Amino acid sequence: MVNLNLPLKSIPRITPKYVRVLEKLGVFTMKDFLFYFPFRYDDFSQIVSISEDYLNQVITVEGKIIKTKLNRIFRRKMSIVEIIIETENNIPLKAVWFNQPFILETLKEGVEVRLSGKLILDGKKFSMNSPAWEKSSRDMTNTGRLIPVYPQTSGITSKWIRWQMKMLLEPLGHPMSKWTSDVLIDILPAEIRKKYNLYDIYTTLSQIHFPDSKEKLIRAQKRMAFQEMFLVQLKTIQIKKEFAEKNSTGIKFDEKLIQNFVSHLPFKLTNAQRKASFEILKDLEKPRPMNRLLNGDVGSGKTIVSAISVLQTISAGYQTAIMAPTEVLARQHFESFCEIFKDYGINIALLTNSYRKINNFQFSIFNFQSIFNEKILKNKKNGREYLLKNIANAKINLVIGTHALIQKDVRFGNLALVIIDEQHRFGVTQRATLQQNIPRESASSPRESAQRVPHLLTMTATPIPRTLAIAFFGSLDLSILDEMPKNRKPIITKIITPSERNKIYEFIKSEIKKKRQIFVILPLIEESLSESMVDVKAVKAEHERLSREIFPEFKLGLLHGKLKAKEKETVMKDFSDKKIDILVSTSVVEVGIDIPNATVMLIENSERFGLTQLHQFRGRVGRGTEQSYCFLFTAENSVPTSVPTLVPTRLKILEKTNDGFEISEADLKLRGPGQFFGTLQSGLPDIAMEHLSNVKLIKFARAEAQEILKLDPKLKGHPLLADALKKFSEKIHLE
């Protein structure tokens, strides 16, 4: 019997060279390999006799090789392989490959061959360029069917993966084989498979790697998507149940306090803000920890909703911690809350790690005696010790920071509420560390301290369609801010062609002369999560071009990910203080600081972004009383000629609406959940991501998960499922 947990390096036909490449792809065992799924399929299933009826179509033909030829062009260091095959209706077909002379080692005269590719005319002769091929005597693996195409890297091809996959799968399907029942175990209970007419695991893998038809492929993909979503729902239900069993501090809703606070705000709360605030305040009253997601559009007022919960918590005598993903956002929150609570005598601290030195803390204290503030700023070591001491003894009511809040020596005196901004930017462990950060002396007994955890409010500015919210955040209660403040002017958005560029530059000059400010955003050139030197070079070049050729009379700032933390902060502060007229930035740098004076957002190569991301950038303007604008520049040669109208059509959605939830729904339909939620890095397989918009599938998976956990909360009667869930939890990030 073969063990599917066997390392690939133990399989003789997979040489060390291929093992190293596969390990880079995260494939280490035979089981990993079997679950390494294709990302698309080439449809070579149309096997025909050659005729003009099939010109410019992808087809498969069979025939005997009657001529071979190798041309070498030494000047261009190129080789061209040509073969002529005679098909069954005696019509010759020429096939051509570039720089693949090794093909002739297999494709010799007299060999029966099968070719799949686009049929074209070369003069008056039928031809194919670089077709897929294999001998006719072989089973159809690379031609003549739906052909899987795998994510690959240098040193490995889909063709090689297909051959190895075939060799692994064939023994599994043999009637005398013990593999299927003893090794390739199906974690989905048989009764669930029967209820929803789902394939068993062997049939699923066979049809995903070598589908007999499109219908069977879809059925196999849905089975895997159901399985992944079933595990998601099992985990989220477990998390929610575990959370509900913990003790927390019940904080009484002081209606008079909150009404007084709201009545003195310089604006009126929207109905959505009122509803969300009430939901949070009622959660805080419970002796069980709140676990709520506040999902709101850019500018929908999440800060003031969170401030209401902070005020209630601190007024009841407890501490609050707010964790943001970047120093810029942490500082923005610090300044916002200092302003919001300036008349409430609340002690607020800012605690962030320097990017330069892990132990070099930067901090400020608001509303403490000025002598201590001065001492802290002058002596960082003593100041830090003083700050930590006053967090531990609960004299500081509100602590705002980055990952610095979860350093080992940061201890809270009586932390009762944790707020996490842009929660997807933090790992599960980081969030759990902050929630568990309560010293024993803060509770009346060791037993109480061990069991009590703070309430948790997480926030995101990415409008998430309800289906995705249910799928990803099933363990959280949901509050949605889907209503914008009444006085907010809609941002005017326009798609700008290259010919209109100068006109927009003139408009920007007129805005700056009115003392307004401008954002210019450049996309990532390399598709990675961090900036490359190529991206930095591009943004520097654009900054130089705009400074020298277009706006020489104005002050331009430059922001990118390779700047040091203090340099970024200086640039953002100068922009905030109106010392910079135009900020030129790459897209990965957090520009979420509130600049009410900024009225123009100019985005270069806007077709590179998803609609949701463009909407996020757009939300950086329009925060003041003046009319604001977002200009989407498109590149002349960025759109493939085969789809010349695709990009403008997609971007036109932004011209029509400022509703983030409407835009996110459109983005979901256009790009699919995988790309929509790419920044979450949830770890969910692509096959599950692609089916996240399938509401029925999610509902069925959740219902079955609830039913199983109702009868078997610890999954003791389902050991295979329990083991799969444990492994699943190690790689998937859920709330």
Q: Given strand 415-421, what is the order of strands in its sheet?
A: 361-366, 348-353, 398-401, 319-323, 415-421, 455-460, 291-296, 477-481
Lowest mean pLDDT among 178-187, 380-389, 416-425, 472-481: 178-187
Do residues 436 and 429 lie in contact, with contact meaning Cβ atoms separated by under 8 Å? no
The yes-or-no answer to whether 255-285+300-460 and 492-657 have a common fold is yes
Q: Residue 119: what pLDDT?
A: 94
Q: Residue 423: what pLDDT?
A: 53
CATH assignment of 492-657, among 1.10.10.10, 1.20.1050.10, 3.30.70.20, 3.40.50.300: 3.40.50.300
Q: Between 526 and 11, whose confidence is greater?
A: 11
Q: Residue 644: what pLDDT?
A: 40
**How many H helices and E strands in the chain?**
25, 23
Find where tokens 């918590």 sit: 313
Q: What is the pLDDT of residues 597-654, one digit of tens each?
A: 999 999 998 888 888 888 888 888 888 788 999 999 987 534 333 334 445 678 889 9
| Rounded-to-integer distance, Cα 397 and Cα 409, Å | 18
Counted residue by residue, the chain has a size of 735
Task: Locate 415 and state its tokens.
Answer: 């932390």
DSSP 78-113: EEEEEEEEEETTS-EEEEEEES-GGGGGT--TT-EE
Q: Residue 568: what pLDDT?
A: 82
The answer to whether residue 179 scores a pLDDT higher than 50 is: no
Do residues 493 and 656 lie in contact, with contact meaning Cβ atoms separated by under 8 Å? no
Q: What is the pLDDT of residues 538-572, one digit of tens each?
A: 888 999 999 999 999 999 999 887 888 778 878 88
pLDDT band at 327 (very low <50, low <70, confident <90, very high): confident
Q: What is the pLDDT of residues 696-734, one digit of tens each?
A: 888 899 899 999 999 999 999 988 898 888 887 766 555
The answer to whether residue 502 scores a pLDDT higher than 60 is: yes
> CA-based Rg of the chain, rounded to a whole angstrom?
30
Find where tokens 């956002």 sit: 329
Q: Between 55 and 382, whose confidence is greater?
A: 55
Q: Residue 567: what pLDDT?
A: 85
Q: Residue 592: what pLDDT?
A: 55
**How crowded is the C-beta side of 627, counted as CA atoms within 13 Å?**
3
The answer to whether residue 356 scores a pLDDT higher than 70 is: no
CATH H-level, domain 46-144: superfamily: Nucleic acid-binding proteins (2.40.50.140)
Q: Residue 637: what pLDDT?
A: 39
Q: Residue 439: what pLDDT?
A: 44
The answer to whether residue 334 scores a pLDDT higher than 50 is: yes
Q: What SS3 state is found at 460?
A: strand
The answer to whether residue 402 scores a pLDDT higher than 60 is: yes
Nearest C-alpha neighbor of 480 from the set 493, 492, 465: 465
For domain 255-285+300-460, the CATH class is alpha beta
| Rounded-to-integer distance, Cα 487 and Cα 625, Å | 8
Give me the chain's average pLDDT, please: 82
Residue spans per domain, the chain: 46-144, 255-285+300-460, 492-657
Q: Residue 435: what pLDDT?
A: 55
Phi, psi of 26 (to 5 degrees): 85, 20
Q: Between 377 and 517, whose confidence is greater?
A: 517
Q: Between 590 and 35, whose confidence is greater?
A: 35
pLDDT band at 587 (very low <50, low <70, confident <90, very high): confident
Q: Residue 332: what pLDDT?
A: 82
pLDDT band at 97 (very low <50, low <70, confident <90, very high): very high
Contact partners, residue 433, CB within 8 Å, separation at least 6: 406
Q: What is the pLDDT of residues 146-159, one digit of tens each?
A: 999 998 777 888 99
